[in-house]
Chains A and B, each alone.
Chain A
């Protein structure tokens, strides 16, 4: 996300518009990436991101291969580098990587000529999630310049928060992190975001309330006293949602914990665009794959670095 400028992002979002139209056709498939092969290399579990990428690739007529880490040579002790080189020796054009190590996709890009798309690396970045959020937000709000977004919840463990802080800030929005001290990164300086511990303080002014998933599996680290208390303090409760501006959007990258970061009733309100984010994710990922593999544009090099 960091290497893209505002113009690149706008170009990508415009391109997304064309692909969103493809998805609405009776036969939602174009031959744009016919003959291209894309491999999934997922070192971390992911169902939604992978399905979304897979749908995107298939709508562009690309062939896809799934490299399942749990049942493969990785179990036999093959290194990441060897795995990547083996896959690229098979002649794939692109590799979509999800890895628990921050920066892994950049390393991989150095080892292969194939284009690399980052589908999330550790706590670091999740660029396509951020792009789909930007796309969803611009569709509802128009220009994001001067808009206010609050990113609420587990900032510390969230790559989505990092990517979105950069992405929204680049588009001119004012980003605020809302979280208890225990859920903020140790060093928040340098992030293009303000910080507050009080959601009630900002709730009435924001255009977007972006909730992060409370990573329940990390509960044993005692980052919050109880989930109920977290919900009361930092969750989007019904009472808080009522105080939002009428046109404010409620966003969430999924999967939601209803009753923790968001109340079950609020998640189904008309200004909660959470399922729309999922739909837009396919179009955004089509645009990214197309740019990297199909267009022959120079942006390819940049994206390989970025992604």
Chain B
């Protein structure tokens, strides 16, 4: 995926890798490490908690818990948002909103480990680790070893 990102952006000069809290942060750092190794130069990496920009406030308890660290001004950068699982797309929408309160990036791209479908918004990923067709009542767990698919037990 690191190669794919570099290829598409002609190198890492303008890149800023932002991991979404909490699942995407580890992945963002791993991607950044890979890019660093390939390109042999520093790449900006940060994290974002978009809880406060969500649209389901009041519908369920939501707490911003994780930290947001945007490494510098995103204006005129290409932001690569990184998350573990892409589902309805609502978290991504919230993140797009959040990023704009920091500046006006040149472009925002989306990298996800797993795309499980069931989008509710016109959002599509630019880089996908794995397309994984799921039912809505299944749970997807991405960890260092791989991807687990489980049932919701109710």
Contact = CB atoms under 8 A, between A and B. Distances in A.
Interface in B80-116: 97-98, 100-103
Interface stretch (B12-20, B22-30, B58-66, B140-148): B58-66
A26 B67 CA distance: 17
A25 B62 CA distance: 21
Interface in A13-32: 14-15, 17-18, 21-22, 25-32
**Size bracket, chain B contacts:** 20 to 34
B61 A32 contact: no
A239 interface: no
A296 to B, nearest CB: 5
Given A32-B52, A32-B57, A294-B58, A26 B103 contact: yes
Given A31-B53, A295-B63, A296-B60, A18 B101 contact: no
Given A26-B103, A30-B52, A18 B62 contact: no
Contacts of A222: none
Contact of A30 (B59, B67, B73, B101): B101
Given A21-B68, A294-B57, A31 B97 contact: yes
A186 interface: no
A152 B101 CA distance: 42
A28 B100 CA distance: 11
B21 to A, nearest CB: 10
Nearest to A291: B63
A297 interface: yes
Nearest to B101: A27
A297 to B, nearest CB: 5
Contacts of B97: 31
Interface in A266-307: 290, 294-297
Contacts of A21: 67-68
Contacts of A26: 73, 101-103
B61 A30 contact: no
Contacts of A14: 65
A190 B103 CA distance: 53
A295 B67 contact: no
Contacts of A296: 57-62
Interface centre among A14, A27, A30, A290 (most CB of B within 10 A): A30
Given A18-B49, A21-B67, A295 B103 contact: no
Contact of B102 (A25, A32, A294, A295): A25
Contact of B63 (A15, A17, A60): A15
Interface centre among A21, A27, A31 (most CB of B within 10 A): A31
A32 B64 CA distance: 11
Contact of B68 (A18, A32, A295): A18
Contact of B101 (A17, A29, A290, A295): A29
9 pairs of A and B residues whose beta carbons are closest in the complex? A30-B52, A27-B101, A18-B64, A32-B52, A296-B61, A297-B61, A25-B101, A21-B68, A296-B58
6 contacts: A17-B67, A18-B49, A18-B52, A27-B100, A30-B101, A294-B58
